Amino acid sequence: MAVLEKNLKQPLYGRDFLDFSDYQTDEIEFLLGIASDVKKARARGILTPYLQGKTLGMIFEKASTRTRVSFEVGMYELGGHALFLSNSATQIGRGEPLEDTAQVLSRYVSGLMVRTFAHETVKTLAEYATVPVINGLTDDHHPCQVLADLQTIQEHKGTLRGVTLTYVGDGNNMANSLLQAAALVGMNVRIASPADYLPQAEAVQFAKEQAKRWQSEVVVTTDPFAAIKDADVVYTDVWASMGQEQEAASRQIAFAPYQVNQELMASARRDAIFLHCLPAHRGEEVAANVIDGSQSVIFDQAENRLHAQKAVLIALLGGMD
């Protein structure tokens, strides 16, 4: 655990992890260093109980596979315990104010992870909780996924600086978080979305401000072929996320030109890798021969959710106390 040994006084202890706008480049690099260390240790069969006696309350208002399993396994392997709290099985589902929930749960647990719809929900919980709050996903941001994405890119490309990432599809929570994080670490980031589905203006502006430090590129366009030209990393997501099912038909029409297929991938660099946060709809946002092809590293990416989130848990919950 080289990174932790060099940083016994952790710079992120007690912090929230809601989106990347509150984080600095060195803090992201610190998290990535821990993620790399815990992944290597696990591969050698070494599981260190950094979170012995710590508990994580996990509030779910959205269904989950990767988020729930990776956080539960992560806490277990770090010596802690995770509690699954569904919306329907808690007083939140009966209208208890979030402010009250945050203050009550803070008396019981060491931290909170929330997977929900409105980003305001995690912001309210963070405001009133006295323990760290981690955004497991909201409609606006998905920082845990993107931290794992950065780890995956770093593993396959050897660096993040100067790497060009192109995201094709809905300007959703993934696009917003990719803009923030990629710009912070010196990557070139391009987003190609239909005009009515662009990423948040705030995320774009934040990325452009960060890019000035690196003289890197931030592009938002409606042209997927222009965006993907010579890209090192190609990324997409589903066209209709949870809560948007009623828009599925109209989105199918709007996003049809944005499918990541072999023709589109041919404009990227020959050694480009393909990423998808999953679950995927083969034949919709991505062709089967791309997501199942030799350039796809989606399962490395999915695995890294475990390691990246362990890093967040160790850093925020105080694994070196």
Residues with a known catalytic role: 115, 142, 145, 237, 277, 305
Alpha-carbon torsion 16, 19, 22, 28, what sign?
A: positive
242 is in an annotated binding site: yes
271 exposure class (CB count in 10 Å sphere: 0-12, 13-18, 19+): exposed
Question: Residues near 244 by Cβ (< 8 Å), separated by ≥ 6?
Answer: 251
67 is in an annotated binding site: yes
64 is in an annotated binding site: yes
270 is in an annotated binding site: no
Q: In angstroms, rounded to a whole number, what is the distance separating the alpha carbons of residues 252 and 33?
A: 39
241 is in an annotated binding site: yes
Tokens coding 46: 């070494």
161 is in an annotated binding site: no
Residues linked to residue 168 through DSSP beta bridges, in sequence order: 192, 236
Distance of CA 35 to the CA centre of its chain: 13
Alpha helices in the chain (DSSP H): 2-6, 25-43, 66-77, 98-106, 119-128, 143-157, 173-184, 201-214, 224-228, 248-255, 262-265, 288-291, 298-317
- What number of H helices and E strands is found in the chain? 13, 9
Q: How open is the CA angle 87-93-97, to the nearest 5 degrees? A: 110
15 is in an annotated binding site: no
142 is in an annotated binding site: yes
Annotated binding site for L-ornithine, which residues? 173, 237, 241-242
Annotated binding residues: 64-67, 91, 115, 142-145, 173, 237, 241-242, 277-278, 305
Which residue ranges make up the annotated binding site for carbamoyl phosphate?
A: 64-67, 91, 115, 142-145, 277-278, 305
